[in-house]
């Protein structure tokens, strides 16, 4: 019992440790402005992590979420800026594409890793066609939303809490969320109970597309101009965020709140390494090391399932 409690507390403990270390190295970050600056990129990362979490819930992996976020940025900085109606339509089409990919992966029994890896090049390709060189303009409403100065608590923290709670409620506490998690836990049992796995997977992929879309929009609101490659790293971040947050690759065991916390931890770890004056060349490696450390801590806490 205490072990499972410890396991569920691990994400928040890791966040606190990284936050504490950051405050220690750079005490000036311990302010409204400091936190806002440090955490603003956590919002798109958190949204991409939630997107990834929906795919992981049904035992798949999405290796195209980063390029997809980049594509959304490119569409929004061009088509949505010049022609909001047409832009919206194209963005909705992107979500439909995600749902179709989920249906394809299920009905043809394809490995999601291979399909989404291939798709990641498709997304980048389309993004480059739309916006050959970095540029474009973010719609003003997007910039003002992301630049909002909320009283007392900085926007990124409020946004993270709201996103986490909403998804937590939908996936962990609603009656339909049970079906989604059950599909990851024992797909055969779900089919025997009369649920369509095709439908479930399509919906989960569509949700992933939707949150990928939100991630792309929020990122564009911060950067104000787009680049096809701006979010390539998000693929890895999102997977790491889900796992850091207590999720598992298979078995439908995920935690939306945990995933958001995991995303915050990763975003903070980036800032922390900058404050340590570690050269950018080493940062990815250092982030990887932090990740391995946390996962190593998690391993002994994971009770082995006595499956038959």
Partner 1 sequence: MGLEAIRLGGVEKSFGAVHALAGVDLRVAAGECLGLVGHNGAGKSTLMHILAGTLSPDKGEILLGGRQHETNWSVNVARANGIRCVFQELSLCPNLTVAENVRIVHGNLQGFGWKKRSHDLACAKLDEIFPGHGINANDAISDLAIGKRQMAEIARAFTVTDIPLRLVILDEPTSSLDAVTAQQLLAFVRTQVAKGTSVILISHLLGDILGTCDRIVVMKDGKAIAERPAKGFDRQSLVAAMGTDLTEKKSTVAKSAEAKSAAPIAVRAKPKTADQSGELIAHQGEIIGLAGLSGHGQTRMLLQIYAKAEVEVTAPLAFIAGDRQSDGIFNLWSIAENVTVRSLRALKKHGLISSDAEDGLAAEWKKRMGIRTPDIHNNILTLSGGNQQKALFARALGSEAKIILMDDPMRGVDIGTKLEVYEMIAQEARAGRTFIWYTTEMEELQYCDRAYVFRNGAISATLSREDLTEEKILHASFAESSAA
The contact set with partner 1 (CB under 8 A) reads 4, 173, 175-176, 178-179, 181-182, 184-186, 188-195, 251-253, 303, 305-308
Closest CB to partner 1 among residues 53, 101 = 53
What is the Cα–Cα distance from 50 to 212, expressed in whole angstroms? 8
Nearest distance in Å: CB 162, partner 1: 21
Among residues 73 and 247, whose Cβ is nearest to partner 1? 247
In the bound complex, what is the minimum distance in angstroms from residue 7's beta carbon to partner 1? 12
CB of 251 vs partner 1, minimal distance in Å = 5
Give, in order, the Cα–Cα distances in Å from 111 to each of 55, 62, 218, 304: 13, 10, 30, 25
Shortest separation between residue 210's beta carbon and partner 1, angstroms = 22
CB of 194 to partner 1, least distance (A): 4
Could you tell me the smallest distance in angstroms from the CB atom of residue 190 to partner 1?
Answer: 7
230 vs 259 by CB, closer to partner 1? 259
In the complex with partner 1, the residue whose CB is nearer, 28 or 304, is 304
The smaller minimum CB distance to partner 1, of residues 34 and 185, is found at 185
How many Å apart are CA 163 and CA 281, to the nearest integer? 32
Closest CB 189 distance from partner 1, rounded Å: 4
- CB of 232 or CB of 248, closer to partner 1: 248
Comparing CB distances to partner 1, the nearer of 100 and 179 is 179
């Amino acid at each position: 019992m205490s072990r499972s409690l410890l396991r569920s507390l691990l994400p928040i403990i890791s966040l606190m440790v990284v936050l504490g270390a950051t405050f220690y190295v750079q005490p000036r970050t311990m302010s409204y402005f400091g936190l806002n600056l440090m955490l603003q990129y956590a919002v798109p990362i958190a949204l991409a992590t939630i997107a990834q979490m929906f795919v992981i819930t049904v035992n798949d992996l999405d290796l195209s979420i980063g390029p997809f976020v980049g594509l959304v940025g490119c569409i929004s900085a061009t088509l949505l800026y010049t022609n909001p109606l047409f832009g919206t339509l194209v963005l909705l089409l992107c979500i439909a594409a995600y749902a179709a990919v989920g249906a394809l992966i299920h009905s043809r029994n394809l490995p999601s890793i291979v399909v989404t890896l291939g798709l990641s090049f498709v997304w980048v390709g389309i993004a480059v066609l739309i916006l050959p060189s970095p540029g474009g303009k973010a719609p003003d409403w997007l910039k003002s939303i992301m630049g909002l100065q909320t009283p007392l608590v900085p926007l990124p923290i409020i946004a993270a809490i709201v996103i986490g709670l909403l998804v937590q409620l939908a996936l962990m506490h609603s009656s339909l969320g049970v079906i989604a998690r059950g599909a990851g836990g024992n797909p055969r049992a779900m089919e025997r109970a009369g649920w369509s796995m095709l439908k479930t997977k399509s919906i989960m992929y569509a949700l992933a597309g939707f949150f990928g879309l939100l991630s792309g929009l929020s990122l564009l609101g911060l950067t104000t101009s787009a680049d096809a490659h701006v979010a390539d790293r998000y693929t890895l971040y999102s997977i790491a965020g889900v796992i850091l947050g207590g999720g598992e690759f298979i078995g439908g065991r995920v935690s939306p709140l945990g995933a958001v916390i995991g995303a915050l931890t990763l975003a903070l770890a980036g800032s922390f390494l900058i404050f340590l004056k570690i050269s950018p060349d080493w940062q990815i490696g250092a982030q990887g090391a932090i990740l391995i450390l946390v996962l190593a801590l998690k391993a002994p806490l994971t009770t082995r399932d006595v499956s038959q």
